[in-house]
Structure 1
């Protein structure tokens, strides 16, 4: 059979290929691959590329479908459709997430004009590479938060979520609406390829520079609940303000034990108290944790609110708590000089820092001192006489804790825990609520002491519940993928370092690399590359161990005031103690996924607010010069963290005009084609602040002259 439209095609093209109609005739009864079509159509080698382009056009025009195996089918509106969630990239393109274990589809910048980040859509595959076309939006976002701009051409809102590139046109403005207000907008008309989205303002959060507006915006944008349900508040009001005698029934009295809390100066909720005592084998360590589960009953309205939130969310100068403040700062907070209910983890640890045995029991406790990291550091590290005398009654405990810490630190090193020793920043505010400075936040031995005590209690909890096959969530940190390990190994080999362990190195292998890097000029580069090799820790009922901490069993037990997974662990421990064990359930898998999500959204919101505040701080420093360190390299530019004020910005490659720079992914560097000048991770650089954009949370730098 020959192509009936050959003459038409030959008039249009010098080297004609089969017509669309003729190609479609081969799909009436059977699907075909490109290779099969070439045979059926008797296509020569020189015509294969034009045929490929024609097939792509036929898929685009809904004459054919293409699946992920590269098989073409006759188009059907009912077949070849895939349903997923749009994941936008700030650079304009996006993906459709189809579900766990299924490869994401890709959306071009043009296709992204039709959807918002988070939309639920139906799409179809355009080619074997995974490019997709939006067919239908099943469910779209209804409201967004952003900054209102009033201009002669009309009003519009720049959406706060940087993954949403659409500006929202606002046709109706009234006298309450001012330029640069932060507003919530209801979408009334969704975007098309020809027109932008349209919306109406339903709430004004405040003026752009009002104190706290950036936090309200982040909370709304990330869907973080702020107000507790009326039912939860009614339950809270019915709780006592102090520990009553009936609540002490069946509990061990440890009020005479010299337990202390050690937290930051500005902490208001105290989850944990600690006590240590030397023994013939090493130390007894007692970690007493606020017994939130006694007051927040499973299935109650309080519990539903806490589960929905998942965790407390921390911002500079503000906390959105998981539990009402009457609980988080009152009845469930281990405040000094008052009795509190607690769940106690009592452990025996040997002189090498190894966990020998452990037991759990509900108790009534009494905090004998509210200490801070700074005060205890002055006592233990700097031997401050005044503080030592002031806290003489708990000095035996503090000295034992410090001795125990030294053993735990040694065990940590022996275990092969990676030590990144990253510097964190702290934002300091003035009396007017504006940023006064951004400084490095240092960690002393006492921070690490408390951390090690909590790690031991968390490990003991996981071992205890694992032994009894209880229904709870592990805190796991999966091993890095073989692909990421190989990329990192290539980089390390190129700079003269060796990552042992084959395709699946353990934590100790990475720890050796970090130890070898100490003192090198490129130490920070190596730390950054290793850190980026790691996966994210999550909550799950499946025990995969904690790679970063080098623990086989690990969970979260020590912060039930601010983390819901810890509350679940407390309930599981009580079930074991009461001999009412609940076997692992499928529901716990769903809960783990939800709580991993709430943790990520809290981190996103906190990070976003911090970046906004840093941009606000830098707005009046445009034109100033600073010293910085290159913290990231990409094909489109270099990221720089300023040395003195701990903010990060970017020099776009288009602004590096002295040469044409080539991106070297393996060595994490940009290299000038003509000058040979190299920019790489960890290099110091002097920059000038070119611009600061609060809408985009971005600082643009240029090389200083």
Structure 2
């Protein structure tokens, strides 16, 4: 065999895109002895000409990567994929495009993380890209921290300090001279770690200056940066939103004559659901009702595979702060084209439900329609109309609103028979003035108008799940599992202390917990019992599996009613469109196949938003309380830890810490299962639910932290009637609940 030409050698390398060595090339062309010396020279010339690249004694055709390599995770692209780049790339040319394709069970990767990956080349016209599969995560990206920069004092050569805005952080960072990026003392900045030492403080450098942390409108920005909440939209997404146009009425049911109205908070930024009700004229359903629920048809304006869709999935949901919203969709859609504004024709996904006189659902159907809202009512205005005092917006609709209330009373009676968990804890809201300063923290009033909308939305969500199950269409369920056995045991301990029984050895139902809440009603333990029942609950999440909703006492439940602010609802809309043949913009095969990944992703973004919203409220409350340091307040002990007790104030609902070191001159023994601190010398017991009088020692607006001094604690401390269950007993209890849960799943 004659010695191959350069072109033949290069062609063979191109046909084997993984990196190869001289040995593999020699074997392919059967080269031996002196020919191998010539081959070495030819390969050197090809490398000098830029036709191949050398990577650690291996050769590959230029622009190609080896099948297994170390990558660095990049940012999320417009398609919703995590990008990556090779860790080692010596070429002057840009590296090829790499998309990370996660599989179920893969660890989460963040920008900057290093990981070993298996690459699959994907040839495209005029381009080469790779799909990467995780083999092993081998390192994390630079750790970042949001904090207040403190400039160094005179003679300090070590540098400034970064004080975290996270009240859970226990260490400061050193910002060496030259790494402060021009930050001024007291400025809010974001920094990344550059060096972590075994001894001493970590070192970092400022990567972004954010501004004055004391400015009122900076409060929500702190949470947005701290939790990586997306705020600005990419240009491609904004361009699609601006180009969007309302679909015509062709192929849609004309629902404009229905007396549909929206009922929302007075400060609502969007309107994505409307309701109406009429008496049912079917003689077979005497005293029955026809209820319409119309929801913004977001699927008509956000097609699968678009930049809008990818960005909505990445955000997962809108995040609401007292002074702003980080929306899931651009304002052009969320506040305009998709919003059911009064007097405007809007596309909708509509549900017609028939209820009998007792509120039981006799049947339902979905359609795509065009609607026109007849009024945008606040909860206060809707309640005033129900109480016989309609305002100017509600007065022309008095008869229609009466039919709506009649339908709700029937539905509410059916709900009462079902006995969902009846937790109704007071909700506080932050009120701000024009400058963004807190003017008050009142309890949000709760009306029957709230319950009306909530019940009709629940009925619509159930109908969506039932329809998709009947058509065997994959969907996202909203899942709320039974309480964790260990939390349940702690709840029993607390209830026994105040004389309220909760039976063991049976499958827990919501009606059992409702009996507990009824027993505590009107007693001094009411708020504590409600709080403990709430804490015993599991966190709800999204799943493609029908695992039921414990809190609502429903075997199947989906989210359908808020597609402007929740991606899960948009997924359900598309599934309905595909299942019922309502258009070409329904659920795709690719979307259905990725439901589990979507469920996990949007469950994470929902938790992220909840944490950001809670942290923001804490900071606003701390800012409001800062001028009242030294004042005394009444409250209740809301949490007990080995480091101290938390007290929730009656006036504002604010939570603050009483450090254990300030409680008394003795050692306190912490019992985590009973939820108590007991003084070893005095026998003094501090427990959940006890009345507390405290003095505000410090309020730190930038972290949201409040420190109290405990002046007095009174009330009944828990005394166990039974010893705490052993680890083995808890394991048996968990197994019993798991078996009961599996049995219910099989019956479904």
Q: Which residue of 2 aligns with 1:73?
A: none
Q: Offset at 1:675?
A: 4.3
Q: Offset at 1:620?
A: 1.9
Q: Offset at 1:637?
A: 1.6
Distance 2:304 2:505 in 1: 46
Alignment of 1:252 with 2:257, yes or no, is no
Q: Offset at 1:158?
A: 1.9
Paired residues for 1:440-519 under 5 Å: 440-500=443-503, 502-519=505-522
Change (3 A) 1:695 1:267: closer
Kept in 2: contact 1:470–1:582 (CA 8 A): no
Paired residues for 1:79-478 under 5 Å: 138-152=139-153, 153=156, 154-172=159-177, 176-187=182-193, 189-240=194-245, 243=246, 247-279=248-280, 280-381=286-387, 383-384=388-389, 387=391, 390-478=393-481
Kept in 1: contact 2:147–2:188 (CA 8 A): yes
Q: Which residue of 1 aligns with 2:528?
A: 525
Further displaced range: 318-327 or 225-234: 225-234
- Aligned residues: CA RMSD: 2.8
Distance 1:100 1:486 in 2: 33
Q: Could you report, residue by residue, the CA deviation over 1:430-479 in whole angstroms, capped at 9, with x for unpaired residues?
A: 23221111111121110111111111101111111111121220001011
Q: Offset at 1:117?
A: 14
Instruction: Please state whether the residue corresponding to 2:216 is helix, strand or coil.
Output: coil
Q: Offset at 1:302?
A: 0.6
Change (3 A) 1:199 1:658: closer
Kept in 2: contact 1:627–1:686 (CA 8 A): yes
**What stretches of structure 1 move > 6 A for 4+ residues in a row?**
99-102, 116-122, 579-584
Q: Could you report, residue by residue, the CA deviation over 1:397-417 in whole angstroms, capped at 9, with x for unpaired residues?
A: 211222222223222222121
Change (3 A) 1:120 1:281: farther
Paired residues for 1:459-608 under 5 Å: 459-500=462-503, 502-578=505-581, 585-608=592-615
Instruction: Please state whether the residue corresponding to 1:212 is helix, strand or coil.
Output: helix
Q: Which residue of 2 aligns with 1:40?
A: none
**Alignment: residue pair count:** 575
Q: Could you report, residue by residue, the CA deviation over 1:189-224 in whole angstroms, capped at 9, with x for unpaired residues?
A: 231212432222222111121232232221122122
Kept in 1: contact 2:482–2:550 (CA 8 A): yes
Further displaced range: 224-233 or 298-307: 224-233
Change (3 A) 1:687 1:117: farther
Change (3 A) 1:282 1:664: farther
Distance 2:174 2:711 in 1: 39
Alignment of 1:621 with 2:628, yes or no, is yes
Distance 1:164 1:390 in 2: 51
Q: Offset at 1:645?
A: 2.2
Q: Offset at 1:582?
A: 6.6
Q: Offset at 1:673?
A: 4.1
Distance 2:676 2:359 in 1: 42
Kept in 2: contact 1:472–1:572 (CA 8 A): yes
Q: Which residue of 2 aligns with 1:645?
A: 652
Distance 2:678 2:287 in 1: 58
Instruction: Please state whether the residue corresponding to 2:430 is helix, strand or coil.
Output: strand
Instruction: Please state whether the residue corresponding to 1:596 is helix, strand or coil.
Output: helix
Instruction: Please state whether the residue corresponding to 2:429 is helix, strand or coil.
Output: strand
Output the TM-score relative to the length of structure 1. Answer: 0.77
Equivalent position to 1:633, from 637, 640, 652:
640
Change (3 A) 1:261 1:585: closer
Instruction: Please state whether the residue corresponding to 1:359 is helix, strand or coil.
Output: strand
Equivalent position to 2:676, from 669, 676, 685:
669
Distance 1:576 1:606 in 2: 36
Instruction: Please state whether the residue corresponding to 2:442 is helix, strand or coil.
Output: strand
Distance 1:619 1:528 in 2: 26
Q: Could you report, residue by residue, the CA deviation over 1:109-129 in whole angstroms, capped at 9, with x for unpaired residues?
A: xxxxxxx9998899xxxxxxx
Kept in 1: contact 2:377–2:393 (CA 8 A): no
Distance 1:215 1:250 in 2: 44
Output the TM-score relative to the length of structure 2. Answer: 0.72
Distance 1:192 1:226 in 2: 34
Q: Offset at 1:695?
A: 4.8
Q: Could you report, residue by residue, the CA deviation over 1:86-127 in whole angstroms, capped at 9, with x for unpaired residues?
A: xxxxxxxxxxxxx9999xxxxxxxxxxxxx9998899xxxxx
Change (3 A) 1:141 1:420: farther
Q: Which residue of 1 aligns with 2:706?
A: 699
Q: Offset at 1:590?
A: 0.7
Instruction: Please state whether the residue corresponding to 1:572 is helix, strand or coil.
Output: helix
Change (3 A) 1:138 1:419: same
Q: Which residue of 2 aligns with 1:37?
A: none
Q: Offset at 1:664?
A: 4.1
Distance 2:190 2:171 in 1: 15
Kept in 2: contact 1:170–1:201 (CA 8 A): yes
Q: Which runs of 5+ in 2 are unaligned?
A: 1-102, 117-136, 281-285, 713-748
